[in-house]
Amino acid sequence: MINSKELLTHTKKFSILFAEDHDELRENTTEILKTFFSEVHSASNGEEAIRKYKEFYQKDSKYYDIVLSDIQMPRINGVELVSNIYAINPHQIVIIVSAYDDTKYLLPLINLGIEQFIKKPIDYQDLLKVLLNASKKLISSKKESHNKNSSIININCSSTFNKETNILQVDSKIVTLTKYEIIFLQFLSNKIGIIYSNEDITNHFSALNENLDIANIRKLVSKLRKKLPENSIESIYGVGYRIVPNLY
């Protein structure tokens, strides 16, 4: 049996989105999740889930720590939901709840990278065990990420961008960034030195329900460059943009 105190120790700072179309199951499970997680949101179908996923990022500039989802749902099923989420955030931890007759969906989900499955009807001890393991993995991942790649990007010796707080500092002064500038910097800083194509950038904005065409990307970069140290962002003609690695 899972120790509730141990589980709470690992989950109390995390957020979770639960997608389930069965009203009673969704409501009961949501109440249990609220016991352990700092923020719990639920959705009755896949379409509502992806909308809430995007809205959560737009509000807090961060993603849910865990997504728990049924497979068979109206409007958008679990496979489509996971595919949409991974297009926005490839590192999202997703746990799938599946019935025994959902086998036709399992292979596509495995191919998408899902590792955790819970069988219906839900055994809540099994659910809590999976949530504990997922939370431990999340904590370990955050520690490893912090050790290997701090949330603070050193743009040069006097300028930094904090990916968690979205604060740009130049010569110890905080520089105001627009919403689009924050999204752009966050995206390019995922992998320093990697070239992100115009299509990558427009798709990322589109996934967040923001419209940005190629012409406006150029305008955005032009304005952002005035706030950053010289030559921080390199444009590759006809291809895209990157943060220059030797300035990182």
Judge whether 27 and 74 are in contact, CB under 8 Å: no
Domain count, the chain: 2
Mean of the pLDDT values across residues 225-246?
86
133 and 179 inside one domain: no
Judge whether 193 and 244 are in contact, CB under 8 Å: yes
- For residue 244, give both structure tokens: 């220059």
Phi-psi region of 131 (alpha: psi -120 to 50; beta: other; left: phi over 0): alpha
90 and 103 inside one domain: yes
Give 149's contacts (C-beta < 8 A, 6+ positions apart): none
pLDDT band, residue 91 (cuts 50/70/90):
confident
178: domain CATH number?
1.10.10.10
Residue 95 confidence (pLDDT):
94
Residue 216 confidence (pLDDT):
94
Residue 248 confidence (pLDDT):
38
14 and 87 inside one domain: yes
Asked which of 84, 118, 148 is the last residue of a domain, the reply is: 148
- For residue 23, give both structure tokens: 């009203």
Res. 143: pLDDT tops 70: no
SS3 content of the chain, % helix, strand, coil (to 5): 50, 20, 30
144 and 157 inside one domain: no
Domain of 49?
A: 4-148
Give the other-Cβ count within 10 Å of 214's Cβ.
11
131 and 163 inside one domain: no
41: domain CATH number?
3.40.50.2300
Residue 98 confidence (pLDDT):
87
| Of 18-32, 147-161, 177-191, minimum mean pLDDT range | 147-161
44 and 138 inside one domain: yes
Q: pTM of this prediction?
A: 0.62
Res. 11: pLDDT tops 60: yes
Give 136's contacts (C-beta < 8 A, 6+ positions apart): 10
Beta bridge partners of 240: 197, 236
DSSP state of 37: -
Residue 245 confidence (pLDDT):
67
Beta bridge partners of 159: 156, 170
Asked which of 148, 183, 206 is the last residue of a domain, the reply is: 148
Give the other-Cβ count within 10 Å of 200's Cβ.
15
Residue 237 confidence (pLDDT):
86
Q: Give pLDDT tens digits for 27-51.
A: 999 999 999 999 999 999 999 999 9
Residue 116's closest CA among 82, 72, 163? 82
Residue 102 confidence (pLDDT):
63
113 and 161 inside one domain: no
Tell me how far apart the alpha carbons of residues 29 and 22 are, in angstroms, rounded to a whole number.
Answer: 11
Gyration radius of the chain's alpha carbons: 20
Return mean pLDDT, the chain: 87
Residue with tokens 């115009």: 198
Q: What is the dihedral of CA 157, 161, 165, 169, to 10 degrees?
A: 60
